[in-house]
Every structure is written in C-alpha cells, then in structure tokens.
C-alpha cells in the first residue's frame, strides 16, 4: 500500500504541476498577445502622426509656391517653370505640375497634358486642398499620393499646383520592438 500511495501522490503532484504549467503558459500567451496589440497600436499611431506631419510639410511647400505663382500674370512663365524644377531637386516630390484653369498642365520634366477631367483637378479648382488615396505608380511601381493646392489671384482660383509624393520615402524613426 505504501508504494501505491506514493505512486498516487506522485501522479497527483505531476498532474497538478502539468495543469499549473498549462495554465501559466495560457496566461503568458494572452499577456504577450495583449502587449503585442498595444505595441502595434502605439506604433501605428506614431507612424500615422509622422505621415501627417511629412505630408503637411509638403502641402506647406506647395501652398507657398502657389501663393507666389498667383502673383504673376502667366502661370507657365519661365520663372515658375524654373521654380518647380528646382523644388523637385530639393524635396521628396517626384513630379510637380502647374495647372491652368482650363486643365492645361506643365510638369517639371517638360511634359504637358490636360487634366481637366481628373477628379482631383475639379476639386482643387473649387478651392480644395487635395490628397489622393495611395496609388501604385505605373512607371516605377512605388506607392504615391497626389497632392494639389489651388492657385489664387485676386481671391479667385486661377489654377492649381500639384505634385506626386513617394510614400516609400517615409522611414520609421525608431525600431519596432515587441515587449
């Protein structure tokens, strides 16, 4: 009997230890999942704030240039063309276009086309600052957004300034660490 009692005692102890270990591992897994969700949510919030800050800077550049361009008579003057060519070299903007009220557009690379039927053009000509949804470039496969701001002359929208911004240029400033 003594041997049988010891075996039962050992079996009961092992069963208790196994159940305790399973409970602990289950609790640990839940804790890791909760902690991971919090970390991911915090990182997404930080990245969203960073993206908004970067895009606000780009909008400020475009708005400043549009304000300057609105002071002149001809949107396609040489000075404006040189301005957008120089800005592309200094900013993370891939392409900048000056759009007249009829949709005729001059791009910093010298290309010209008419964008009067584009949704963003119609909205920006109503005085709205526009950011397109992210799109994949057919040229280089990179994800970009189109930013556009109205150009005012004497309080009236006379054109627009638009640019494509490469979202892959946004870097996360601190590494993502899971607790």
**DSSP string over 51-112:** HHHHHHHHHHHHHHHHHHHTTSS-TT-HHHHHHHHHHHHHSSEEEEEEEETTSEEEETTS-E
Q: pLDDT (tens digit, 9 = 90+) per residue, 44-69?
A: 888 888 888 888 888 998 999 999 99
Residue 170: per-residue pLDDT: 63
Residue 121: per-residue pLDDT: 92
Residue 2: per-residue pLDDT: 86
| Closest C-alpha among 20, 38, 62 to residue 163 | 62
Q: What are phi and psi of 152, to 5 degrees?
A: -105, 145
Please give the Cα distance from 179 to 167 (Å, whole number).
Answer: 28
Structure tokens given for 159? 């054109």
CB 47 within 8 A of CB 172: yes
Statement: residue 172 has pLDDT above 50: no
Global confidence as pTM: 0.70
Pseudo-torsion of CA 61, 99, 151, 136, nearest 10°? Answer: -40
In this prediction, what percent of the chain has a pLDDT beyond 90? 53
Q: pLDDT (tens digit, 9 = 90+) per residue, 78-134?
A: 999 999 998 887 777 888 999 999 999 999 989 999 999 888 899 999 999 999 888
Please give the Cα distance from 108 to 81 (Å, whole number).
Answer: 7
Q: pLDDT category, 141, cuts 50, 70, 90? A: confident
What is the overall mean pLDDT for the chain?
A: 87
Q: Which residue has the higher pLDDT, 179 or 133?
A: 133
């Amino acid at each position: 009997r003594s041997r049988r009692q010891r075996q039962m005692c050992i079996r009961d102890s092992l069963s208790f230890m196994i159940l305790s270990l399973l409970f602990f591992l289950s609790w640990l897994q839940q804790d890791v999942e909760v902690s991971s969700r919090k970390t991911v949510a915090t990182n997404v919030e930080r990245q969203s704030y960073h993206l908004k800050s970067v895009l606000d800077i780009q909008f400020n550049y475009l708005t400043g240039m549009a304000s300057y361009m609105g002071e002149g008579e001809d949107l396609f003057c040489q000075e404006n063309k040189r301005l957008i060519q120089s800005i592309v070299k200094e900013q993370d903007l891939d392409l900048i276009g000056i759009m007249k009220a009829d949709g005729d557009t001059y791009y910093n690379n010298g290309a010209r086309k008419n964008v009067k039927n584009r949704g963003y053009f119609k909205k920006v000509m109503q005085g709205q600052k526009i950011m397109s949804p992210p799109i994949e470039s057919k040229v280089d496969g990179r994800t970009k957004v189109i930013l556009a701001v109205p150009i005012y002359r004497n309080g009236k929208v006379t054109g627009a300034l638009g640019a494509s911004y490469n979202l892959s240029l946004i870097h996360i400033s601190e590494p993502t660490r899971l607790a």
